[in-house]
Amino acid sequence: MRSLGPALIVAAVVCGPGSILTASRVGANFGHGMLWVLALAVFLMVGMTALASRLGVVMEGTACGELAARLGRPAALGVGLIIFLVVAGFQVGNNLAVVAALAPMIGEALPEGLHGLVLLPLVNGLVLLALYRARHLYAVVEFSMKLLVGMMVLAFLGNWIASGPSLISLLSGLVPRLPKGASTADWMALAGLFATTFSIAGAFYQSYLVRDKGWGPADLERGLVDSLVGILVLGFITMVILSTAASTFYGREGIELGTVGDVARQLEPLFGGWARWLFSFGILAAALSSFLVNAMVGGQFLADGLGVGGSMQAPWTRHCTALALLLAMVLGLVALSTGWNHVHLITVAQACTVLGGPALAVALLYLATRPDLQRRHPTPAWMLAAGWIGLVATLLLAVRTIVNLLQ
């Protein structure tokens, strides 16, 4: 565990509330039938994360720094802005999930309508305080993510075991098939599941994390192992959540997943009151694990795209991270005050993140195929293959998402 770090941080960021909700919705709608989509996303995510890790330790500069040097500052700024906007979509979901997870624990201490108005400024204020007060951000982030990922595994594993999943049904879900009679909402949930597992923005961030950890060319093999283990943890957690929903909700009438709390409450009739608390505990761990670091992904890329900071410690990285936190908090408060369906809102937000995926995949593959880097450290063919397959998959998914949004 001491040797791991960067990819586990990526897993903690990617496996946020949006991933949990979309996995729950896919399991409730399709059972285990779409498990092969998750398996494909995990494979592509391992390849992309390993590729980004490799670039992070062999490039002289940061990813956006290299893009600026080779293609000009506008190209680097474009990548930074895309990732910043992708992060904003995830961060709104984190805000809503924190409120939903903490509300059952607060009970009647506050009127229901005031939960979000009080909790969101409080949680964001504490995160901003930690952001500006921590001297060595990477060490704090890595330790916190390991702790919170462990909490998520324990929480969701408990509900999964209680749901009594069928091994035959699990294995049959790995056989690729297209959903029959799927609605637009169903397709959006599938797009969200793929996007929250195969997050090119998260994989891209690995190139920064390995540099912040201090790894260099001598750590290429360590980076590969780190990427494999970290992303498999992400895939396992998501599979457990999807399978729990499939075993519990699939085929039942009257299941309405309107809020994060609804998912927890639906478990209560079958498993008892402890299930709701356990699920809320896992949701809270997921939201907190990705809350600061998710915003930091956008902040660090935006600062580096502007050419004013490429590490966690850079002042402008912290300022841009604070901007991402405040923007998402405002959008979260608007969503709470208007009474929008939280699960639907988060699912759409997660699905929309795939729209920036193709541009990020192109940028990553561009850097990975530079002749000067290939001469010094040739990229393994399987990593490049995963990258090209990922690019095609994100292009197809982006087109499908645009069609769904228009409908």
The dihedrals phi and psi of 41, each to the nearest 5 degrees, come to -65, -40
Q: Which two three-digit tokens encode residue 271?
A: 């498993």
Rg, C-alpha atoms of the chain: 20
Residues near 232 by Cβ (< 8 Å), separated by ≥ 6? 42, 46
Residue 285 has pLDDT above 60, yes or no: yes
56 vs 141: CA distance, rounded Å: 19
Q: Predicted confidence band at 70 (pLDDT cuts at 50, 70, 90)? A: very high
Q: Predicted confidence band at 2 (pLDDT cuts at 50, 70, 90)? A: low
Mean of pLDDT values over 35-48: 93
The structural domains of the chain, with segments of one domain joined by +, span: 6-406
pLDDT at 323: 92
75 vs 24: CA distance, rounded Å: 37
24 vs 184: CA distance, rounded Å: 17
Residue 135 has pLDDT above 90, yes or no: no
pLDDT at 105: 61
Q: Are 24 and 177 in contact (CB under 8 A)?
A: no
Measured from the Cβ of residue 317, the count of other Cβ atoms closer than 10 Å reads 24
pLDDT at 89: 74
116 vs 135: CA distance, rounded Å: 30
- For the segment(s) 6-406, the CATH number from 1.10.10.10, 3.40.50.300, 1.20.140.10, 1.20.1740.10 is 1.20.1740.10
pTM exceeding the 0.75 threshold for the entire prediction? yes
Mean of pLDDT values over 43-71: 92
pLDDT digits (tens, 9 = 90+) for 6-18: 898 898 888 877 7
What 3-state DSSP class applies to 32?
coil
Following CA atoms 395, 400, 405, 407 in sequence, which dihedral angle do they give, to the nearest 10 degrees?
A: 150
CA-based diameter of the chain, in Å?
A: 64
pLDDT at 319: 92
Summary mean pLDDT of the chain: 82
pLDDT at 260: 58
pLDDT at 270: 64
pLDDT at 46: 94
pLDDT at 399: 81
236 burial level (CB within 10 Å; 0-12, 13-18, 19+)? middle
Residue 283 has pLDDT above 80, yes or no: no
String of DSSP letters for 70-98: HH-HHHHHHHHHHHHHHHHHHHHHHHHHH
Of 378, 299, 294, 382, nearest in space to 64 by CA: 299
Following CA atoms 77, 78, 83, 88 in sequence, which dihedral angle do they give, to the nearest 10 degrees?
A: 90
Mean of pLDDT values over 272-293: 76
Angle at 67 between CA 63 and CA 68, to 5 degrees: 115
Q: Are 55 and 387 in contact (CB under 8 A)?
A: no
Q: Predicted confidence band at 354 (pLDDT cuts at 50, 70, 90)? A: low
Percent of the chain predicted with pLDDT > 70: 85
